[in-house]
Amino acid sequence: MSKAIFYCEYKLKRGTSVADFLAASEKLNNEYISKQNGYISWEQWNDDAVWVDAITFESMEDAKGFEETSNANPNELAMVFYSFINLMSCKVRYYTIEKSYGGASL
């Protein structure tokens, strides 16, 4: 079974404190996302305007299950995280990891 990536790109709301956003992300990861079935890791990428969440799961079933569960009943930590995001800018995709080279993560 191939590992899968839940990929979401988005923009932050104007005036958002990046430090506060990252603190909310870390709390959400530590207290909720990292406890989901098949969770491996979460990376956040940024190019100044666009942010990307790349959450790696053991399987596509785990990745899609995470989104279904999270959307159906977002908890308080998720609501704080979402409060920083322009939700109209969100684009979600799923990817299967076909091949990986190297072992270091940046």
Instruction: Provide mean pLDDT across the span 45-52.
Output: 96
**Domain architecture of the chain: domains with CATH:** 4-96 (3.30.70.100)
Helix intervals (H) in 1-106 = 18-31, 60-72, 76-82
Distances in Å between the Cα of 31 and the Cα atoms of 12, 35, 86, 101 are: 22, 7, 23, 30
Instruction: Provide mean pLDDT across the span 77-93.
Output: 96
Strand order in the sheet with 39-46: 39-46, 51-57, 4-12, 85-96
pLDDT at 105 over 60: no
Q: For 49, which DSSP code?
A: S
Q: So what's the pLDDT on residue 9?
A: 98
The CA-based dihedral angle spanning residues 19, 78, 65, 71, taken in that order and rounded to the nearest 10 degrees? -130
pLDDT at 106 over 80: no
Rounded to two decimals, the pTM is: 0.91
